[in-house]
Amino acid sequence: MAARAAAFEVLYGSAKASLEAYRPGAVTKEDVQGLVLAGWSASHGFATLALTANLSEHLDTDPAALAAQVVRGIITMGELAQRASDG
C-alpha cells in the first residue's frame, strides 16, 4: 500500500510540475488528477496488453517502439480533442 501511495505522489508531483511549466494560468487539483489518471491508465493498459501478448499479432513487438508509438498516439488524441473542442 505504501508503494502505491509513493508512486501516486511521484506521478502527482511530476504532473503538477509539468502543467505549471507548460500551461498558462492556474493549475487546479482536478487538472493534475486528470493528468495522473490518464497517464497511469494508459501505462497500465499498455503494460497489460503487452504482457498478455494481445499486441503481438497486430503491432511491432519491440517494447520501446511500442511505447514510443503509444506516446505519439496519446499526443494525437490530445490534438484531436483540442480541435473538437475548438469547434
Q: Which amino acid, one-letter code, is at 46?
A: F
pTM: 0.71
Burial class of residue 75 (count of CB atoms within 10 Å of its CB; 0-12, 13-18, 19+): exposed
pLDDT category at 28 given cuts 50, 70, 90 is very high
pLDDT tens-digit profile of 59-77? 776 778 878 888 899 889 8
d(CA 31, CA 19): 8
The residue that leads in pLDDT, 19 or 87, is 19
Cell of 13: 508531483
Domain boundaries of the chain, sorted by first residue:
2-86
User: What is the grid cell recorded at 27?
Assistant: 493549475
Q: What are phi and psi of 64, to 5 degrees?
A: -65, -40
Residue 51: name the closest of 40, 36, 61 by CA. Answer: 61
**Mean pLDDT for the chain overall:** 87
Q: How far apart are CA 61 and CA 72, in angstroms?
A: 17
Instruction: Give the residue with greater pLDDT, 21 vs 52.
Output: 21
pLDDT of res. 61: 67
